[in-house]
């Protein structure tokens, strides 16, 4: 059991905290291209390189497509490899993302969650990361600057664990988390470095004593089976994430859960949400509890692999549940989080009424009034006077 | 949750409002409190109107939205008074700190606020021109904010200013800022 380690209280933005995690991990290679609101991560890390605080080959490229391509080569060679991006940059990387996962390369990428064009918009939503949802990457969502740091630390260990060997995207909400200055705790370098260790590549391309071929062709006889193997690998990463998350929790004193279930034990009405908006939901839930309304919030911290059991446990016993989605599913009904929650409840034979909301797209301000409206709706949903169809929350 | 203080800053890009928002937050942090400081982001153009926000609290802050119902409004550029309603959503017994040569009575009339609202004025731009020799009224207005509201103690603020500016600026600039802060603290009226 690890002892609680010494930490420093700092004022930092989410991007600064990701940079600190990168610095402490001292990666062999960082290859990145700047894009708002991710830029200050790579800017900050470039300073660490220039100041000699890390021993990193910092590769500047002409695009995100090249950035991820270089990361794939670097990770396959055996190097600890990080990058960061956002929005159109992530979209431009898309072609390479499934390759990183399919080749089982433990790349860690921070994503500043930002809307996708058109119209062009630099602010927060989750349409960039949800566009990369099905690529085989593990997906973590931070609520604040502190968790942007904690999730990155857990992501690095998880990706490189011998039983995982998968790329991890550690995401933080654009501007709301990337650029807001908050109080946070930074682990001392020694304890952080000991926690992170070094990457031990299983089959590095540069191990010329044991030559391998990577990025092979797979035909009808094996592509299908390899996809099943990748699915199993993503699912099987769950206990490893839990083990590493718990280890970090012991060291840092900050709890780790796949689902941060606030007040869910006895809640009648629960909001399910990802990222920075959870605090607003929780604040409203506290106010409602003062009035005797049993409100709860289930915030999903790990979206891939999806924590079905933990979520069902959090929602069990509720009279009605609302799922807030920050990315569209045009022409469908529920957004990506809504679909997962519906799947979780259906497969667990839970019949809790469910309603889905689209909120906060393109940085649309997430207000306490919106959260209050959702909880009011849930009472009506439980009473059967409204249905569960999707709504645009706070739409003018 | 009652100890949460929310401050909204109105300024033009280049006047140092974001730095001011952070100075207040970091001074609170140095006292062991919790804080947030963030600008409302948009296209960045010097001279364009912008808002920034500061939250200070004795306990962890979990809300992450813009501040629409501030207790305190700080206006670094009085020409904004003709462009926007700076007191929109402000608490009925809120406080407005204004960078202007107007008297508090004149400013109150211009703002059109009730007697319950505290209105304080300071010629922060004049002080900045006389001391820093540039129209960057951010540090003097924070001193005025400290005196009028007590949201951060003045001595802690000065100490924090010395520490953070000491890392970035020459002694001459630090001294000029300290002088501007001292003058604003003495000259603010309400």
Q: What domains, with CATH codes, occur in chain A?
A: 7-197+229-252 (3.40.50.970), 259-392 (3.40.50.920)
For B65, the closest of A177, A181, A367 (CB atoms) is: A367
Query: Nearest-CA distance from A261 to chain B in Å?
Result: 15
Residue A212 to residue A214: CA distance in whole angstroms = 6
**Rounded mean pLDDT of chain B?**
94
User: Using a CB-CB distance cutoff of 8 angstroms, which residues of chain B are in contact with residue A9?
Assistant: 29
User: Using a CB-CB distance cutoff of 8 angstroms, which residues of chain B are in contact with residue A286?
Assistant: 1
Q: Which of A192-201, B84-93, B164-173 has the lowest mean pLDDT?
A: B164-173
What token pair was written down for B30?
């140095």
pLDDT given for residue A162 in this prediction: 97
Residue with tokens 């709706």: A377
For B25, the closest of A11, A278, A283 (CB atoms) is: A11
Interface test with A, best of B62, B152, B167 (most A CBs within 10 A): B62
3-state secondary structure at position A57: strand
Residue B97 to residue B73: CA distance in whole angstroms = 6
Residue A334 to residue A331: CA distance in whole angstroms = 9
Nearest residue on chain A to B37, alpha-carbon basis: A181
Nearest residue on chain A to B34, alpha-carbon basis: A183
For A280, the closest of B1, B25, B64 (CB atoms) is: B64
Q: Closest Cα partner for A91 from A56, A127, A142?
A: A127
CA dihedral sign of residues A42, A47, A50, A55: negative
A367: contact with B, CB 8 A cutoff: yes
User: Are B63 and A279 in contact (CB < 8 Å)?
Assistant: yes
Query: Nearest-CA distance from A185 to chain B in Å?
Result: 12
Nearest residue on chain B to A122, alpha-carbon basis: B42
- DSSP character for A155? H
For A183, the closest of B1, B29, B62 (CB atoms) is: B29
B61: contact with A, CB 8 A cutoff: yes
For A365, the closest of B29, B60, B66 (CB atoms) is: B66
For A180, the closest of B34, B38, B62 (CB atoms) is: B38
pLDDT given for residue A270 in this prediction: 98
Query: Nearest-CA distance from B85 to chain A in Å?
Result: 19
DSSP states of B9-27? EEEETTS-HHHHHHHHHHH
- In order along its 396 residues, chain A shows pLDDT tens digits of 567 999 999 999 999 999 999 999 999 999 999 999 999 999 999 999 999 999 999 999 999 999 999 999 999 999 999 999 999 999 999 999 999 999 999 999 999 999 999 999 999 999 999 999 999 999 999 999 999 999 999 999 999 999 999 999 999 999 999 999 999 999 999 999 999 999 999 999 999 999 999 999 999 999 999 999 999 999 999 999 999 999 999 999 999 999 999 999 999 999 999 999 999 999 999 999 999 999 999 999 999 999 999 999 999 999 999 999 999 999 999 999 999 999 999 999 999 999 999 999 999 999 999 999 999 999 999 999 999 999 999 999
User: Are B62 and A365 in contact (CB < 8 Å)?
Assistant: no
User: Are A280 and B37 in contact (CB < 8 Å)?
Assistant: no
Residue A261 to residue A343: CA distance in whole angstroms = 19
CA dihedral sign of residues B133, B136, B142, B145: positive
User: Are A122 and B41 in contact (CB < 8 Å)?
Assistant: yes
pLDDT given for residue A2 in this prediction: 60
Burial (Cβ within 10 Å: 0-12, 13-18, ≥19) of residue B187 = middle
Q: Total structural domains in chain B?
A: 1
Structural domain range at position B114: 5-187
Q: B12: Cβ–Cβ under 8 A, 6 or more apart, which residues?
A: B46, B47, B48, B49, B50, B76, B77, B79, B80
Q: Is the pLDDT of residue B68 over 80?
A: yes
Tell me which residues of chain B, numbers 62 to 91, contact chain A at a CB-CB cutoff of 8 Å: 62-66, 68
pLDDT given for residue B1 in this prediction: 35
Query: Nearest-CA distance from A11 to chain B in Å?
Result: 7
A317: contact with B, CB 8 A cutoff: no
Residues B133-149 have a mean pLDDT of 96
3-state secondary structure at position A332: coil
pLDDT band at B40 (very low <50, low <70, confident <90, very high): confident
Per-residue CA distances from B135 to A63, A284, B131 (Å): 40, 41, 10
pLDDT given for residue B167 in this prediction: 86
DSSP states of A165-195? ---EEEEEETTTTTT-EEEEEEE-HHHHHHH
Residue B6: its H or E element: strand B5-12
Radius of gyration, CA atoms only, chain B? 15
Residue B123 to residue B128: CA distance in whole angstroms = 9
User: Are A181 and B63 in contact (CB < 8 Å)?
Assistant: no
pLDDT given for residue A218 in this prediction: 96
User: Are A9 and B34 in contact (CB < 8 Å)?
Assistant: no
For A366, the closest of B37, B41, B65 (CB atoms) is: B65
ipTM of the complex: 0.92
Domain with residue B24: its CATH number is: 3.40.920.10
pLDDT given for residue B132 in this prediction: 94
Percent of chain B past pLDDT 90, that is, above it, reads 92
User: Are A368 and B64 in contact (CB < 8 Å)?
Assistant: no
Query: Nearest-CA distance from A37 to chain B in Å?
Result: 10
For B38, the closest of A9, A179, A365 (CB atoms) is: A179
């Amino acid at each position: 059991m690890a002892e609680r380690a010494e930490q420093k209280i700092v004022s930092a933005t989410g991007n600064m905290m990701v940079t600190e995690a990168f610095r402490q991990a001292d990666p062999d290679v960082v290859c990145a291209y700047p894009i708002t609101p991710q830029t200050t991560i790579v800017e900050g890390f470039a300073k660490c390189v220039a100041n000699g605080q890390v021993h990193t080959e910092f590769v500047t490229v002409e695009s995100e497509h090249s950035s991820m391509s270089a990361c794939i080569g670097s990770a396959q060679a055996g190097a600890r490899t990080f990058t960061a991006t956002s929005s159109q940059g992530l979209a431009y990387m898309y072609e390479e993302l499934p390759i990183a996962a399919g080749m089982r390369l433990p790349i860690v990428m921070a994503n500043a969650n930002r809307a996708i064009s058109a119209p062009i918009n630099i602010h927060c939503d989750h349409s960039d990361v949800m566009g990369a949802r099905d690529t085989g990457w593990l997906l973590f969502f931070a609520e604040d600057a502190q968790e942007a740091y904690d999730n990155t630390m857990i992501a690095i260990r998880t990706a490189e664990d011998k039983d995982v060997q998968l790329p991890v995207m550690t995401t933080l909400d654009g501007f709301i988390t990337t650029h807001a200055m908050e109080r946070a705790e930074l682990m001392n370098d020694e304890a952080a470095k000991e926690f992170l260790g070094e990457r031990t590549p299983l089959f590095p391309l540069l191990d010329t004593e044991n030559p391998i071929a990577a990025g092979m062709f797979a035909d009808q006889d094996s592509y299908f089976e390899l996809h099943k193997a990748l699915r199993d690998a993503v699912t099987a990463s769950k206990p490893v994430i839990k083990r590493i998350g718990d280890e970090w929790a012991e060291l840092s004193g900050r709890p780790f859960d796949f689902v941060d279930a606030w007040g869910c034990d006895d809640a009648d009405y629960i909001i399910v949400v990802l990222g920075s908006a959870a605090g607003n939901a929780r604040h409203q839930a506290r106010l409602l509890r003062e009035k005797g309304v049993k409100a709860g919030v289930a915030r999903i911290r790990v979206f891939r692999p999806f924590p079905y059991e933990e979520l069902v446990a959090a929602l069990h016993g509720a009279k009605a549940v609302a799922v807030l989605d920050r990315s569209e599913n045009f022409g469908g009904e529920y957004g990506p989080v809504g679909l997962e929650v519906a799947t979780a409840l259906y497969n667990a034979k839970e019949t809790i009424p469910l309603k889905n909301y689209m909120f906060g797209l393109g940085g649309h301000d997430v207000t306490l009034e919106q959260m209050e409206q959702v909880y009011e709706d849930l009472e009506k949903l439980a009473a059967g006077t409204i249905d569960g169809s999707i709504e645009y929350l706070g739409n003018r | 949750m009652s100890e949460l203080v929310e401050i909204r800053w109105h300024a033009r890009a280049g006047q140092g409002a974001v730095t001011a928002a952070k100075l207040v937050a970091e001074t609170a942090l140095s006292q062991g409190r919790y804080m947030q400081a963030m600008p409302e982001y948009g296209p960045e153009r010097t001279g364009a109107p912008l808002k920034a926000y500061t939250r200070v609290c004795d306990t962890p802050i979990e809300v992450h939205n813009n501040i629409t119902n501030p207790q305190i409004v700080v206006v670094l550029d009085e020409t904004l008074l003709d462009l926007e309603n700076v007191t929109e959503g402000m608490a009925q017994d809120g406080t407005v700190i204004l960078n202007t040569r107007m008297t508090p009575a004149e400013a109150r009339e211009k703002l059109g606020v009730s007697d319950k609202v505290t209105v304080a004025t300071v010629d922060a731009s004049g002080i900045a021109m006389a001391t820093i020799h540039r129209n960057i009224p951010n540090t003097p207005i924070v001193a005025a904010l400290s005196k009028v509201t007590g949201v951060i103690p003045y001595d802690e603020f000065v100490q924090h200013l010395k520490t953070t500016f000491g890392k970035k600026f020459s002694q001459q600039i630090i001294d000029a800022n300290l002088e501007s802060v001292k003058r604003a603290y003495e000259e603010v009226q309400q």
